[in-house]
Amino acid sequence: MSCLVNITDLCFDSSRIDVPFKFVRSTIWSKLGLFRLIVCNRLYNYRLEMEAPASNLSSSIGFRFRLREIVRAPLLAFLEHSGIIFNAQSQAVLSSDLEMHHEDPFADEVSIRIMGGVEEDAVADGDEQADDFRIEEGVNGVDEQTPSPSLNNNRYDIQNLAHWIEQILPFSLLLLVVLIRQHLQGFFGTIWISAVLFKSNDILQKQTALKGERKFLVLVSITVIFMLHVVFVYWWYQDDNLMYPLILLPPKSTPQFWHALFIILVNDSMARQAAMVFKCLLLMYYKNTGGHNYRKQGQMLTLVEYMLLLYRTLLPTPVWYQFFVNKEYGSFFSSVTTGLYLTFKLTSVIQKVRLLFAALRALSHKELHYGLSASSEQVTAAGDLCAICQEKLRSPIVLQCKHIFCEECVSEWFDQERTCPLCRALVKPADFKSYSDGSTSLFFQFF
């Protein structure tokens, strides 16, 4: 408990003081002595009130509190310290503190003001109004900070959920370790294949972005490495029935669930790796691209990617067909599950076929579907300067919004955008995604 003595007004006007100085000094000392007695009395009563219940329960409560702090679960402790949930002890301490604040909000602060007799009555009314306002504010603060029953229930549910997660988490990790040990070779093989695939996609995009600066010998080396990686993977897993699903034939025997996922994942990754070999061959053919040839290269890369997407959509079908046609579950159940799977697969195949035909139509068009070749008069009027590359126009193309750019520059722009680079008018319809940058879809096709 802290006591603050604020003697605010100790200034006396000589014109208003008509008593001797000794009388004033004796009055001040008498006031201070009375204040000292009052403070000592309050401190003594407060100590008696606090020590009475603490003497009986301090040892047991303190021991239980320390023991609970030591053995408390890590997740629950994190939630409590972060403020998401509160335990019963913290709520009890909070409520007791709020009740003490409600009973006497200014019990810890004592203020003394010494002033003249004329000002004392005027200030007393203001102090009473300020005290009433502070007491009302303290009551409102207690009402706002008191937790509602619904909030306590939500915290109790979160606390139970945290306990449940803590109980099942070690067993889940243990089962995961056992599963990895049972399929150790397949687990690390999957990680290796995925890492090589992601790195190969990055290398191919960088080679595509180099355009005429890419080196033929580097492309040949990349192509050979990709092909050797595909051959090595199928040689390593030659006993896992990977070749039959690769040519859209069902496996020799009905695979288990995890083995079916492994077959699909490896074949899906190797199909993308083989498609990267074809893309490298296209980059060799269109090494010195520019203008119309650059647009043709992008359209060919997009066509190869959509052909790959259609093949990857069909690739898991024979594996899951063999998995669902399992007579152990009964002919009726296996027929229903197989029919539902083929129905779902048909919708996905139709979507990929539409995208493939859209890529074929874009390849067969002689002119750009978002503009026409610009005439010499239009080029002269535009200033014979491309706004994208800031150089002289090469194979100029006039868009539907009448802006003129180089064919190579605007083709590269519309690979990622649909609006004009200058006026932002919608020029290219959103028919399908372009893969002219040499990228490959990295999403796995599991079903």
Which pLDDT tens digit goes with each residue over 163-189? Answer: 888 888 888 888 888 888 888 888 888
What pLDDT was estimated at residue 34? 58
pLDDT for 42: 62
With pLDDT > 90 as the criterion, what percentage of the chain qualifies? 23
| pLDDT beyond 90 at 386 | no
Cα–chain-centroid distance for residue 170? 25
| Contact by Cβ (8 Å): 387, 422 | yes
pLDDT band at 45 (very low <50, low <70, confident <90, very high): low
Tell me 102's DSSP state. Answer: H
In this prediction the pTM is 0.61
Type of residue found at 389: C
Residue 264 has a pLDDT of 93
Label residue 212 exposed, middle or buried (CB < 10 Å: 0-12, 13-18, 19+). Answer: exposed
Position 143 pLDDT exceeds 60: no
Say yes or no to pLDDT of 406 above 70: yes
Mean pLDDT calculated for residue range 213-240? 91
Q: Tell me what pLDDT residue 369 has.
A: 62
For the chain, give the percent of residues with pLDDT over 70. Answer: 62
Residue 81 pLDDT exceeds 70: no
Residues 43-59, mean pLDDT to the nearest whole number: 54
C-alpha 271/C-alpha 234 separation (Å) is: 12
pLDDT score recorded for residue 167: 84
Instruction: Evaluate if residue 198 carries a pLDDT over 80.
Output: yes
Domains in the chain (CATH in brackets) are 21-168 (no CATH), 183-364 (no CATH), 371-414 (3.30.40.10)
For the chain, give the mean pLDDT. Answer: 73
